[in-house]
Amino acid sequence: MNKRDYYEVLGVSKGASADEIKKAFRRKAVELYPDKEGGDDRQRVLI
């Protein structure tokens, strides 16, 4: 089983502060958020 380097995924160094990690996490969450482009209202009803 491969283990992921979460620091690399977030784009921060291993010596990053908690604030840097928090900012990087939020940036990545916004980047990957599935509904940031609007989306289809019909699909929202199904969820």
Q: Mind listing the pLDDT tens digit for each residue in 1-47?
A: 688 899 999 999 999 999 999 999 999 988 887 666 666 666 666 55
The reported pLDDT for the residue numbered 3 is: 87
pTM of the model: 0.65
| pLDDT score at 31 | 86
Per-residue model confidence (pLDDT) at position 19: 97
DSSP string across 2-44: PPP-HHHHHT--TT--HHHHHHHHHHHHHHH-TTTT---HHHH
